[in-house]
Amino acid sequence: MKLNVAIVGRPNVGKSTLFNRLVGKKLALVDDRPGVTRDRRESEVQLGDLHINIIDTAGLEVAEEDALETRMRLQTEEAIGMADVVLFMMDARAGTTPMDEHFAAMVRKAGKPTILLANKSEGKASDAGYYEAFSLGLGEPMPLSAEHGIGMADLYEELVKYD
């Protein structure tokens, strides 16, 4: 059995960085066909004895600015719908923003098992943001640095509980 895991959150928190780290390579963000932009990326990954299907949500590669919010919301809803477990990511260096709260509300409403990731948690600059993350109502945040590979073993330990 394969566990569907969706990475969701506002733009720029580090979702694709985590996706690439889990997949172990950089996958193309944009479809080869001209004018076609792929918002959602999926890849099957073997983590130890855990077999997951990881889903990244992009949303930023949209030409028309006004379509962005709708597009991101639909895409995030779709990814949450597919997920057995949701990885909700926030940026602990930036703290929580209204957009984080907006996405967190969508995740809470879905009622799926959710792991709250406080990304960019390398160094002290993330301390205040880490504590702010509690206010998202998604449980205790897990510190992570997708870029530096910190917290990956803890993430695995959490995911394996849902297998």
C-alpha 86 chain-centroid distance:
8
Q: Residue type at 51?
A: H
C-alpha 162 chain-centroid distance:
17
Which residue ranges make up the site for Mg ion (CB under 5 A)?
15-16, 58
Residue 141 binds ligand GDP (CB under 6 A): no
Residue 114 binds ligand GDP (CB under 6 A): no
Q: Which one of Mg ion, ligand GDP, none interacts with residue 146, CB within 5 to 8 A by kind?
A: ligand GDP
Q: Is 160 annotated as a binding residue?
A: no
Q: Is 117 annotated as a binding residue?
A: no
Kindly state the helix (H) or strand (E) to which residue 41 belongs, with its residue range.
Answer: strand 40-47
Residue from 3, 8, 14, 116 that binds ligand GDP (CB under 6 A)?
Answer: 14
Given a contact cutoff of 8 angstroms between Cβ atoms, the answer to whether 47 and 23 are in contact is no
Residue 149 binds ligand GDP (CB under 6 A): no
Q: Is 60 annotated as a binding residue?
A: yes
How many residues interact with ligand GDP (rule CB under 6 A)? 14
∠ CA 150-153-158, rounded to 5°: 120
Q: Is 67 helix (H, G, I), strand (E, B) or coil?
A: helix
Could you say which residues in the range 16-75 bind ligand GDP, by CB under 6 A? 16-17
- DSSP classification of residue 113: -
Q: Which is nearer to ligand GDP, 79 or 146 (CB)?
A: 146
Q: Is 150 helix (H, G, I), strand (E, B) or coil?
A: strand
**Which residues belong to the annotated binding site for GTP?**
9-16, 56-60, 119-122
Interface positions with ligand GDP (CB under 6 A): 11-17, 119-120, 122, 145-148
